[in-house]
Amino acid sequence: MKKGIIIAAMALFLASVFSSLGFGQTAPDYSANGKRLYSRSWIWSDKFSQMVDTTKYKKRPPYVIGFSNASVSNSWRVQFVQEFQAECDRHKDLIKKVYITDAMDKPAKQVSDIEDLMARKIDILIVAASEAGPLDPIVSKIYKTGFPVVMLDRRIKTENFINFVTCSDIVGGRLSALWLAEMLKGKGNIVCLPGGAGASPAEDRLAGAKEIFSQFPDIKILDIQYTSWSPAEGKRIMSALIQSYGKRINGVWADSGLQGGGAIEALIAAGMKVPVTGEDNNAFLLVVQNNNWQAMSNGYTPKYGALGVINALNVLQGIPVPRIVNSTRTVLTTVDTADVKGEIPWDQMAKPGWPLDFWMDNNLPESMLPRSR
């Protein structure tokens, strides 16, 4: 109970501080002659949310939680669910039962999963939508009956939910795009490799990246290809792009380390070396480190699966929650730019003895961490 109150108070305090620093801007600043003048606060800003009164959802524990997950189709999503389950285990005094379903990235199956969860008399519904549009009708219908629904990781298109627990994809897209643009000194040709078509993280990251690239008139996007957050697809698609554009490609914007690592493998095979963005899965970190690559890791940690549990418990205890709950991220760079700098050295995050598919920024208990090989 006290933990939730502290989180709510901190959110309100940070909201007032960030507001005073100008974090509510929705577009970059311009001078009178139209020259770009970046406001760093704009780079980091997202929908800074009001607090939501959850008094009407308050009920006595223990609770039955239903989590409709989009899938466990890649290593990030597997670890994300592990983080979720580990946090549930930490709150056994408040949680009686947890149901977790896997929609296998199929919207129709996820609709069926949600119907099944509701039949199990759960106390709250948590949804990570496989696709924003197809899940909207059923989630909206449940929410409009007065039942508590929160979104975790992936949202629906409308605002029919209590709140959304995320790690801002808009900000992530802007940040990685800014690093790449500055690495290229504002001039060159790039290809974009977003993740899953129609999934809100991929679409929002791409939208954020485009906002930045649009401010650099001498940067041209040659192509945009969705990769389903697959290392194999990232490598295959990057190989095809190299066949099409060759050495006209000066940089690669990937919204994840999954396809980012695959893209680097394709570039190595083609004898090309251009800056690439990604995230902190160990495979991406190591291929960058082992090949002395110019890269940026824009951390999108699976540990915010745990934050989803804490958020749901706050709702059920009637504790106010932010409309948008943003997890923190860890930024790594092999080369710092003017506006994007690494928080810790690259080699402190990369672990040669750990599994390649492990995501390094985590909140898992010691018993669940890999052992060095």
Q: Do 288 and 295 touch, CB atoms closer than 8 A?
A: yes
The region of weakest confidence among 133-137, 138-142, 200-204, 326-330 is 326-330
- Asked if the model's pLDDT at residue 12 lies above 70, the reply is no
- State the pLDDT confidence band at 43, using cuts at 50, 70 and 90: low
Long-range contacts, stretch 118-121, CB < 8 angstroms, 24+ apart:
118/66, 118/142, 118/147, 120/64, 120/66, 121/64
pLDDT at 327: 82
CA distance 19 to 106: 39
- Kindly state the average pLDDT of the residues 245-266: 97
Average pLDDT of the chain is 88
Q: Is the peptide bond before 352 cis (omega within 30 degrees of 0)?
A: no
DSSP calls for 119-171: HTT-SEEEE--SSTTTTHHHHHHHHHTT--EEEESB--SS--SS-EEE--HHH
So what's the pLDDT on residue 362? 87
Over residues 245-271, mean pLDDT: 97
How large a percentage of the chain has pLDDT more than 70?
A: 86
pLDDT at 237 over 60: yes
Task: With both helix axes pointing from N to C terminus, report the angle between 2-20 and 304-316 in degrees, rounded to the nearest 10.
Answer: 110
Give the mean pLDDT of 194-218.
94
Question: CA-to-CA distance for 182 and 57, rounded, in angstroms?
Answer: 47
Report the range out of 248-252, 298-302, 340-344 with the highest average pLDDT: 248-252
The band of 45, judged by pLDDT with boundaries at 50, 70 and 90, is low
Q: What is the 3-state secondary structure (H, E, C) of 41-60?
A: HHHHCCCCCCEECCHHHCCC
* Helix (H) and strand (E) counts in the chain: 12, 16
Residue-wise pLDDT for 266-290, tens only, equals 999 999 999 999 999 999 999 999 9
pLDDT for 16 beyond 50: no
180-208 burial, b at 16+ Cβ within 10 Å, e below that, comes to bbbbbeeebbbbbbbbbeebbbbbbbbeb
Answer whether residue 19 shows pLDDT above 70: no
pLDDT of residue 372: 59
pTM: 0.79
pLDDT at 313: 98
CA distance 195 to 259: 8
Predicted pLDDT at 25: 32
Query: Can you tell me the distance from the alpha carbon of 373 to that of 371, in angstroms, rounded to the nearest whole number?
Result: 6
State the burial class of residue 174 (Cβ atoms within 10 Å of its Cβ: 0-12, 13-18, 19+).
buried
The predicted model gives 229-235 an average pLDDT of 96
65-112 pLDDT per residue, tens: 999 999 999 999 999 999 999 999 999 999 999 999 999 999 999 999
Residue 253: φ, ψ to 5° = -100, 110
Q: What is the pLDDT of residue 371?
A: 75
Q: Domains in the chain and their CATH numbers?
A: 47-167+302-328 (3.40.50.2300), 169-300+332-366 (3.40.50.2300)
Going by pLDDT thresholds of 50, 70 and 90, the confidence category of residue 119 is very high
Top pLDDT among 307 and 48 is at: 307
Over residues 347-359, the mean pLDDT reads 93
The pLDDT confidence band at residue 129, using thresholds 50, 70 and 90, is very high
